[in-house]
Amino acid sequence: MAPEAPAPKAVAHRIIKLGGAAITHKSQLETLQQDVLRRVCLSLAKDATDVDLGRTTDGTVLVHGAGSFGHHLASDYGVARGPLVDPRVRHGFALTRASVTRLNGYVVEGLVSAGIPAVGLSPLGHYTTSAREVSVTGASAVADCLRAGLVPVLHGDAVLDEQLGCTILSGDTLVRDLAEQLRPQYVVFLTNVAGVYDRPPEEEGARLLRRIVVRRKDGSWRVTAADGGSEVDIRMTADTHDVTGGIALKVEEAARVARLGVPVLIAQAGSEDGAAACRLGPLVTVNHGIVPLASSEPQWSSGCLAATSDMAEQQQVNAEAGQQCATAWRGTLIVLEDDEGLENEALGGMGSAG
Ligand SMILES: Nc1ncnc2c1ncn2[C@@H]1O[C@H](COP(=O)(O)OP(=O)(O)OP(=O)(O)O)[C@@H](O)[C@H]1O
Ligand SMILES: C=C(C)CCOP(=O)(O)O
**Which ranges in the chain belong to alpha helices (H)?**
20-23, 34-49, 71-77, 87-113, 139-147, 171-182, 246-259, 272-280, 284-287, 311-321
Domain ranges of the chain: 14-352
Question: Residue 354, SS3?
Answer: coil
AA identity, residue 33: Q
9 Cα–ligand 1 center, Å:
34
Strands 60-64 and 14-18: parallel
**Nearest ligand for residue 71 CA:** 2
Q: Decide whether any atom of ligand 1 lies within 6 Å of the 199 Cβ.
A: yes
Q: Decide whether any atom of ligand 1 lies within 6 Å of the 239 Cβ.
A: yes
Q: Select the CATH number that applies to the domain covering 14-352 from these four: 1.20.1080.10, 3.30.450.20, 3.40.1160.10, 1.10.3470.10.
A: 3.40.1160.10
- Atom of ligand 2 minimally distant from the CA of 80: 1
Q: Decide whether any atom of ligand 2 lies within 6 Å of the 74 Cβ.
A: yes
- For residues 288 and 28, what is the distance between their CA atoms, to the nearest angstrom? 36
Computed from CA positions of residues 265, 238, 174, 18, in that sequence, does the dihedral angle turn out positive or negative? negative
ipTM: 0.98
50 Cα–ligand 1 center, Å:
31
- Atom of ligand 2 minimally distant from the CA of 249: 10
Closest CA to 189 of 201, 179, 200, 202: 179
User: Model pTM greater than 0.95?
Assistant: no
253 Cα–ligand 2 center, Å:
14
88-93 long-range Cβ contacts below 8 angstroms, 24+ apart: 89/165, 89/166, 93/158, 93/166
Tell me, what DSSP letter sits at residue 53? G
- Taking only the tens of pLDDT, the chain with its 354 residues reads 455 554 445 589 999 999 999 999 998 999 999 999 999 999 999 987 765 555 566 799 999 999 999 999 999 999 999 999 999 999 999 999 999 999 999 999 999 999 999 999 999 999 999 999 999 999 999 999 999 999 999 999 999 999 999 999 999 999 999 999 999 999 999 999 999 999 999 999 999 999 999 999 899 988 866 555 677 889 999 988 899 999 999 999 999 999 999 999 999 999 999 999 999 999 998 755 554 333 333 232 222 232 233 444 444 444 444 444 456 899 999 999 876 555 443 344 555 554
- Atom of ligand 1 minimally distant from the CA of 191: 22
Q: Decide whether any atom of ligand 2 lies within 6 Å of the 70 Cβ.
A: yes
